[in-house]
Structures are given as C-alpha cells and as structure tokens.
Amino acid sequence: MTDHRGSRLGRQLLVGACVLVAVALVGAVLGPVWWLAAPDRAVGTSLGDGQVFTGTAQEVFAGEGWFALITAAAGMVTGYGAYMVQFCLSRLRIQDLRLVCLVGGFLGAAVATVLTWQIGTALDAPLHGAAAGAAHGESVTVGLQLRATAFLAAWPFLFVLQYGLLDAISMARGDLPGVPQPAPALRSEAEVAGVRVTDGSESTFTAPPSADGVSGGVPVTGHAPAAHDTPVTTEPLATADSAVTGHVPATAETPGNGGAPAVEPGERPAT
C-alpha cells in the first residue's frame, strides 16, 4: 500500500514538473516575439550614468503594451493547454492531477513572464550599452525595456483564471476524471420489492419496476391490519323455521306476558 501511494505521489510530482518546464519554455520563445513585435525604438537624451530621458515617447509605451498583450494571450492559452493535458492524463491514469498541474503551471507562468522580459530586453543589449556610455546631453536610441513591472503579473493571473474557469465547467457537468465518485446509497429490501410502509395504519404499495426500468403501475394506498385483537360478537343461529317465516319461533313461555302461552300467527288468543 505504501509503495502504491509513493508511486502515485511520484507520478503527480513528475506531471507538475513537466507542466512547469513546458510553460517556462513558452516564455523563452515569446521573448524574441516581443522583441520583433515592438515598434521602432524611442530616441531620448542621455543624462549620464546610463540614464536616458525619453519624455512621453509613444514608442516606450507601445513596447510595454505589446508585452502586456503577448503575455496575457500566453496566459489564456497555457491555462487551457495545461488543464486539457491533466484532463486526458487523469482519464488514462484514473488519478486526480488538477492541483499539481495548477501549481506547476502557475510557477511556470511566473518564470515564463520573467524570461520573456529578460530575453526581449537582452536582444537590445547593443542599444543599452550605447546609452550607458553616452555623454550627458547626447541623443541616443533607447533599447526595449519594461518600466511597468506590474505587467509581469498578467501571465500568472490569466493562467489561473483560465484554469479555474475550465475546472468550474467540468464540476458543473460532473465530468471530473480521476476524482472518486460517492458510493450509491443502499436500499432496503422493502424499497427493492417496491413496498414502502409509512406508519402502522397505512401502507403504500408500488409495483416493482419492469425489465425496461419503467414502474409497473400507480401506487395503491391501503390499510394494514391493526395490531390489537378485534372483538368477536356471536349471535344465535337461526333455525329452519326462522329461515321460512323470517322470525325466530316462540318458546313455550315468552318473557313479559305473565307466563301465557305464545300465540301462533293467525290464531285468536284464548279468553
């Protein structure tokens, strides 16, 4: 069991490291792209000690704008790519890799945006050297640079945003490969048979589902037998005469007439 857990953890760390390196390499590739996409370099006045005054030159702001656009687009694309890679790997390995890919991709995006910045500015190293050696008041061409360092957060932020959006969509659809699903609740024997007793006096009987999964009929409500004993009342059995005449034959003496003999129907009483 320990070896199995160790192998799963090692696989997760390997996937996270691969995502980190892959995203960082994208940043290294985008450095030259930023250098080529930036417009013409600005021209400024040297202040000595490598300081150059450019004023409000549009070329400086345009270069920083291109950096923001390139890194923002890279954040969206790498966030989508990292999530889809972990989605496919989780389905193949039956293992949840969302967290390690998120952490690895975020760290890779942070490294990538720095690489884009440093490689892009390094390609203008001759211009930076000329500006550093220029005399005070000399007009020089300013190499590519990034003054608004807040743009460095664009790539990691949009990576996490895109990754989280895709994960939210997968959770809403219930499509999360590698995540253990909850075990189905066990049903009682009464539910399996299609019978559900509500209380001691009333029961609901539901026909069990047929072979095609459709219920056999409408539930029928009936009364269950009471738990207590029902009193039994006995009555005297009618004789053959009662069956013919519709009344019980009188006995020799009828209570309530002073002991007089009973009078048959159709006869006069004796005086």
Model confidence pLDDT, tens digit, residues 17-54: 999 999 999 999 999 999 998 877 777 777 766 677 67
Q: Provide the domain count of the chain.
A: 1
Q: Is residue 125 assigned to a domain? A: yes
- Residue type present at position 264: E
Distance in angstroms (rounded) separating the CA atoms of residues 101 and 17: 8
Find the range with the poorest average confidence among 60-69, 112-121, 169-178.
169-178
Q: Is residue 217 assigned to a domain? A: no
In this structure, how many other beta carbons lie within 10 angstroms of the beta carbon of residue 185? 5
Distance in angstroms (rounded) separating the CA atoms of residues 110 and 13: 18
- Helix, strand or coil, per DSSP, at residue 41: coil
Q: What confidence score (pLDDT) does residue 143 get? A: 78
Would you state the structure tokens that stand for residue 48, as one six-digit string?
């000595």
Q: Is residue 103 assigned to a domain? A: yes
pLDDT mean over 97-101: 89
Answer whether 99's CB lies under 8 Å from 13's CB: no
- Which residue range forms the structural domain that includes residue 161? 7-173
Q: Is residue 56 assigned to a domain? A: yes
Does residue 225 surpass a pLDDT of 60? no
Q: Is residue 24 assigned to a domain? A: yes
* pLDDT tier at 76, thresholds 50, 70, 90: very high
